[in-house]
Structure 1
Amino acid sequence: MAALPPLPPSWALDLSTQPPRPAKSSSIPDPPGFSAASSSKSKSTQSSTTSAKPNPRDPQMLVKKAYEVALAPAKQLPMTFIMMYMSGSTLQIFTIMTVFMAFKNPLVGLLSTFSAFERFETEETRGKLVLVRALYVLMQLVGLGLGVWKVNQMGLLPTTRSDWLAWETARTPLERAIPAF
């Protein structure tokens, strides 16, 4: 006859049960939009009631959050600059990866400008979001400028006359001097 498997230890059974809820302290107020009565209801009764509607979205708060999203690329610029400065100007794998990321991140940001601000767009905020998007695009262009600066520091941009020697034509001399023996 086969032996029955042993029962799990008591601590394992205790993990599967919910701990008791602590008593509510009356000295701490509920956060805005939260009521203890609605949290104690079950999900089935909560979904059937329509009295607990969420507050409409505040346009000023949406614009503030949109400005936070627009300024997020500017917060990355100091770290990108430090990484580029510290990586040096020689062609190494770390420098190449840093330059690649300096170009990739702003380009992806520019291509996703409208999708980045979709969640903030309402009838009241539509006019204000134009300036926010312009600020976002400006911050992305500053990031691209940082990448161009690094490529120039590495000597990869053709900015001197010697970089264009392949397209130079030889001058035709006005006189020739033939040395005598």
Structure 2
Amino acid sequence: MPSQPPPPPQWVLDLNSAPVSKPKSSIPDPPGYTATVSSKQKSQSSKNAVRKAPTLEEMDTLKVKKAWELAIAPAKQLPMNAIGMYMTGNTLQIFSIFMVFTLFKTPVMAVLSLQRVFAPFETPGTSNRLIAIKVVYVLMNMLMLGLGIWKVNQMGLLPTTRSDWLAWEGERTWSERAVPREWL
């Protein structure tokens, strides 16, 4: 005679059974708590609350807001890039060279792809308002480019003295130094 399998554990029975209605207690529900809604109540509430499509003006306003967020995005990267430039130091190292390269490449590529970036926001209702947004976008990228120029100057790679341009000019000599030359 075959033996019957053992009964399932209690947790399996609890998992498969319907939830027990909770007894009414004297403790009220906390603020913000919503009781679970049955599927029948969900279907009734979804029938009643039909979402209407946004108007053309509302869509244009939303597109302009998103375009402003996109235009200000390079300015949000500026503090982090400035900290990174400061932390890399002024010596010529592979890390600082790559960071400066990206600091020059990113704004230039962003300005070159200006029309493609703002194409999703271009509608007859937003075309006039997008001009100012595009100008701000270009200015924010120029700030990033300015940070790159500052870093190249700090590294001593910008030709800023006459001796950098003229072969017969000698290097600038300092009349005083705060630190003796031997210490450097």
1:153 aligns to what? 154
Q: Following TM superposition, by how much is the alpha carbon of 1:53 offset from its aligned partner in structure 2, in angstroms?
A: 8.2
1:138 aligns to what? 139
Distance 1:24 1:83 in 2: 53
Q: Following TM superposition, by how much is the alpha carbon of 1:160 offset from its aligned partner in structure 2, in angstroms?
A: 0.9
Distance 2:40 2:143 in 1: 51
Q: Following TM superposition, by how much is the alpha carbon of 1:108 offset from its aligned partner in structure 2, in angstroms?
A: 1.0
Query: What amino acid is the match of 2:71?
Result: A
Q: Following TM superposition, by how much is the alpha carbon of 1:112 offset from its aligned partner in structure 2, in angstroms?
A: 0.8
Alignment CA distance shift 1:61-1:161 (3 Å): same
Distance 1:148 1:25 in 2: 65
Q: Does 1:23 align with 2:38?
A: yes
1:68 aligns to what? 69
Secondary structure of the structure 2 residue equivalent to 1:99: helix
Alignment CA distance shift 1:127-1:89 (3 Å): same
Alignment CA distance shift 1:88-1:25 (3 Å): farther
1:36 aligns to what? 46
The answer for unaligned runs of 5 or more in structure 1 is: 1-21, 29-34, 38-51, 170-181
Query: What amino acid is the match of 1:36?
Result: S
2:54 aligns to what? 55
Q: Following TM superposition, by how much is the alpha carbon of 1:74 offset from its aligned partner in structure 2, in angstroms?
A: 0.4
Q: Following TM superposition, by how much is the alpha carbon of 1:100 offset from its aligned partner in structure 2, in angstroms?
A: 0.7
Question: 1:51-130 to 2 correspondence within 5 Å?
Answer: 54-57=53-56, 58-130=59-131
1:18-56 Cα offsets, whole Å, 9 max, x none, are xxxx73596x9xxxxxx835xxxxxxxxxxxxxx98534
Alignment CA distance shift 1:121-1:90 (3 Å): same
TM-score between both structures, scaled by the size of structure 1? 0.64
Identity, in percent, stands at 52
The answer for unaligned runs of 5 or more in structure 2 is: 1-36, 170-184
Distance 1:76 1:64 in 2: 19
Distance 1:65 1:25 in 2: 38
Q: Following TM superposition, by how much is the alpha carbon of 1:61 offset from its aligned partner in structure 2, in angstroms?
A: 1.2
Following TM superposition, the consecutive aligned residue runs of length 4 or more in structure 1 with deviations greater than 2 angstroms are 22-26, 52-57
Alignment CA distance shift 1:144-1:24 (3 Å): farther
Distance 1:25 1:128 in 2: 47
Aligned residues: 129
Distance 1:60 1:158 in 2: 47
Alignment CA distance shift 1:158-1:56 (3 Å): same
Distance 2:100 2:143 in 1: 14
Query: What amino acid is the match of 1:76?
Result: Q
